[in-house]
Structure 1
Amino acid sequence: MSLAATGDLVREAAAGGRAVAAFNIITLEHAEAVVAGAERVRTAVVLQLSENAVKFRDGQLLPIARAAAACAEAAAVPVALHLDHVKSPELLRQAADAGFASVMYDAAHLPYGENLEATRSAADWAHANGLWIEAELGEVGGKKGDAPLDPHAPGARTDPDEARRFVSDSGVDALAVAIGSTHAMTTRTAALDHALLARLAKALDVPLVLHGSSGLPDSELAAAVAGGIRKVNIGTALNVAMTEAIRSNLTGADPRPYLAAARTAMTATAAAMISALN
């Protein structure tokens, strides 16, 4: 099957009142597991590579991007490629030639005016090169080991009126909103601000994206989708499954047994979390 377009998958999910699961991958085993999990539940999915994952691979985007694309093209369900949390303009400009249908440009750490200016420039470039673009307003904490923001700290939640202006002025196709989730959570104990989500869904006419979703129980994920979330980013849940499987199977010098166990564990996790959204 040829590579799908992220925007098309999100629109199709929105039309059915669902959300697309978008999994951050680091290794080939991640990509294989996500595709296998999506095939198990017969549902489209997005494979995401973050700027941090590219840095881990010595800054080389193409080797892992080509591997992910090969997994997607061999899949029995639609699979799209998305370049996630990009801050580097140089990396952004590699996306179109590397098989990505979409990109999340991350300037949320900047003051509002600088975020808007940088995001508008990124959106102009993305659209000129056929890419669907996502941005973030408010800040979902927990990236790179940072402590999560206090839910009541300035900038920790997305303001609906500001979000409406930001989307209109930047021209982005989707917006990641900060409503109480946190990146890198290893327990599923977080709770969302569903009243704020309702206000955001009413204020905005672009798809809403939820980051930091690994820390949410199934009931919160389902409620987020019912409230208008149309793309759900998941990463840490895969890494937890992978690490636990490797720890349990780390014997001998051959890496294949423990990597196979890790892939099997991640497949089950991916299938379960996709099912929670649909």
Structure 2
Amino acid sequence: MPLVSTGELVSAAAAGGQGVAAFNVITLEHAEAIAAGAERAGRPAILQISENAVKFHGGRLTAIAAATAAVARASDAPLSLHLDHVESPGLLRAADGEGFSSVMFDASKLSYGANVAATSEAVVWGHARGIWIEAELGKVGGKDGEPPLGAHAPGVRTDPAEAVAYVRDTGVDALAVAVGSSHAMTDRTAALDHELIGALRRAVPVPLVLHGSSGVPDAEIRQAVAAGMVKINVGTALNTAFTGAARAFLAADTKTVDPRKYLVPAREAMTGTVAAFLKVISG
């Protein structure tokens, strides 16, 4: 199936009062598991490659992007390709021509004014090429070794009035907001600020994005989607399933040296995790 655009998937989910899941790709096995999980669940999905994943591949985007796009095109599920948490302007521009229909440009570490200026430039560049741009306002902790942050920590939560101004001044197509989730959580104990989600949904005219959803329980995800979150990002939960299965295999069989022997159960465990999240997020 040809690649679907992220904007199309997000718009369809928003119109139907549903969420659409975006899963992080690090290796070819990730892409294969996400595609297989989407087929198993009968749901669309977004395959996203982060700037950190590109760094893992030696800073070269083309190979992992081409492999991921090839897996997506071979799938029967509607899948899109998204470049995630891009801080480098050079990597942003590298997205053009690699199959990406969307980019999350992350200027959240900058001051508010610098964030607006940098993101506005990214939006102008992206829209000229038909690329949908997501941005982040607020601080979702836990990335790159940062500690997780609670929904009520001072200065962390996304302010609805500021979000309205930010979307207006940047022209972004979607907004990732800080409402209590955190990147890199390996246990599902995050408690979201659902009152804030509702306020943001009422105020902000573009789809809302939840980062760090691996640590959010199913019931909290369902409630967040019902309140107006649309694009739901999942990464660490895939790695937990994959690594757990590989570790269990190698603990039971200490003589195996063929990586295919443990990559098969690891990929299957990740596939099951993808399918389970899709059924929660997409309804």
| TM-score interval (norm. to shorter) | over 0.9
Q: Please, what TM-score do these two structures have when normalized by structure 2?
A: 0.97
Q: CA RMSD in A?
A: 0.8
Note the 1:87-102 alignment, pairs <5 A.
87-102=87-102
Aligned to 2:261, which of 257, 260, 271? 257
Aligned to 1:32: 32
Deviation of 1:150 (Å): 4.5
Q: Deviations over 1:76-123 (max 9, x none)?
A: 011000000000000000112111000000011111111111111111
Segment of structure 1 superposing worse, 144-153 or 225-234: 144-153
Q: Deviations over 1:211-235 (max 9, x none)?
A: 0000011000100100001100000
Q: Point out where structure 1 has 5 or more consecutive residues left out of the alignment.
A: none
Distance in 2 of aligned mates of 1:172 and 1:242: 34
For the pair 1:134 / 2:134, whether they are aligned, the reply is: yes
Segment of structure 1 superposing worse, 187-196 or 144-153: 144-153
SS at 2:97's partner residue? helix
Q: Deviations over 1:191-215 (max 9, x none)?
A: 1000000100000110000000000
Distance in 1 of aligned mates of 2:104 and 2:247: 33
Partner amino acid for 1:275?
K
SS at 2:188's partner residue? coil
Segment of structure 1 superposing worse, 248-257 or 7-16: 248-257
Aligned to 2:14: 14
Deviation of 1:151 (Å): 3.6
SS at 2:148's partner residue? coil
Note the 1:148-163 alignment, pairs <5 A.
148-163=148-163
Distance in 1 of aligned mates of 2:157 and 2:125: 28
Q: Point out where structure 2 has 5 or more consecutive residues left out of the alignment.
A: none
Aligned to 1:206: 206
Partner amino acid for 1:167?
V
SS at 1:148's partner residue? coil
Deviation of 1:142 (Å): 0.5
Note the 1:22-171 alignment, pairs <5 A.
22-171=22-171
Q: Please, what TM-score do these two structures have when normalized by structure 1?
A: 0.99
Distance in 2 of aligned mates of 1:150 and 1:239: 23
Distance in 2 of aligned mates of 1:7 and 1:91: 20
